[in-house]
Amino acid sequence: MPVMEPGLDATLLRTWAETIDAGPFSSLCWGERIAFDNPDALTLLGALAAWTHRVRLVTTVVVPQLHDPVMLAKALATGDMLCDGRLTVGLGVGGRHEDYRAVGADVATQTMRGMADAVEIMRRVWAGEHVTDSVRPVGPPTTRPGGPELHVGTTGPRTIRSASHWASGVAGVTLDLDVGQQRQLFDVALRSWSELDKPHPHLATSFWFALGDEDRARAQIPRTQIHRHLRHYMNWIPADFVDAMAPTTGFAGTPAQLAQTLQAFAEIGTDEVVLIPTDADPGQLRDVASVAREFADA
């Protein structure tokens, strides 16, 4: 979903959601920020549950330390109920102190320990335990015993090892599409899950994308699109840093080149690639849908 793009409205968001739900995509994903002009992630969850019927709904990612864990568990359980159990919850510690300060959260909790503590409380809520001084436990009950599937959003091996105790998958991100580096992180996840005798983790990564035909690609139009998006999205980073990283961040090229990139990630065992839009134009979505359909059929 193009939630980090400016100028969104309900009609545009619904168009994206319904187009994604129509296929061939496996999941519909969106992220969370607080001090930004994006829609609230949990409110949007309710709308997406109503607008879709097939795809999994995946938060990539929600930062539990920015929320009261009991209220977050209740909100996610409600979303899980509304979408008939299609919810997967991606969780991360977040990379921006400003989001913590905006909600009065303690920046000292921006750690894996802080996230694990919140997960423990949420899991107790979903298990129907009395975590508050109330007559009845906090509901509604989730469609799956123990709550929605949890993935950890991370780019580091230490975080993966720590989260292996509570997560069932990895929601990574690659800035420069380094397949070798992503394989190393997946290997860490596979070893960590194996050491705990847990089932094979769901292995996902994500990257920004912009598509164009060969003429547009030669003219660097997709690369310019990504640069514009990064300037808007990475507003907490000095502009000269963003400008320096923009030429090598994300995918900018033709549909055929994107298919080759997806194949490279498939060959290292990637279960799912999340394509992060850098423009809210539904035309970009239709173009990438064509790539995904041909890739799935290959």
For residue range 140-164, list pLDDT tens digits in order: 999 999 999 999 998 899 999 999 9
Q: What mean pLDDT is reported for the chain?
A: 96
Residues 82 and 197 occupy one common structural domain: no
> How much is the pLDDT for 145?
92
pLDDT value at 210 more than 90: yes
> How much is the pLDDT for 233?
97
pLDDT value at 173 more than 80: yes
> How much is the pLDDT for 295?
81
DSSP 8-50: --HHHHHHHHHHHHTSS-SEEEE---SSSSSPPHHHHHHHHHH
> How much is the pLDDT for 219?
87
Q: What does the alpha-carbon distance between residue 188 and residue 174 come to, in Å, rounded to a whole number?
A: 16
- Count of domains forming the chain: 2
Residues 125 and 214 occupy one common structural domain: no
Residue 60 belongs to a domain with what CATH number?
Answer: 3.20.20.30
Residues 148 and 196 occupy one common structural domain: no
pLDDT value at 73 more than 90: yes
Query: Domain residues for 44?
Result: 1-153
> How much is the pLDDT for 155?
86
User: Dihedrals φ, ψ of 42, to 5°?
Assistant: -80, -35
Helix extents (H) in 103-251: 112-126, 157-163, 179-195, 214-218, 221-233, 239-245
The mean per-residue pLDDT over the stretch 250-273 comes to 96
Residues 140 and 78 occupy one common structural domain: yes
pLDDT value at 116 more than 90: yes
Residues 17 and 146 occupy one common structural domain: yes
> How much is the pLDDT for 296?
80
pLDDT value at 298 more than 80: no
pLDDT value at 280 more than 90: yes
pLDDT value at 243 more than 80: yes
For residue range 17-26, list pLDDT tens digits in order: 999 999 899 9
Which pTM value belongs to this model? 0.96
Q: Say what percent of the chain tops pLDDT 70.
A: 100
In-domain check, residue 139: yes
pLDDT value at 297 more than 90: no
Residues 96 and 238 occupy one common structural domain: no
> How much is the pLDDT for 294?
86
CB-CB contact of 14 with 284 (8 Å): no
Residues 74 and 133 occupy one common structural domain: yes
In-domain check, residue 48: yes
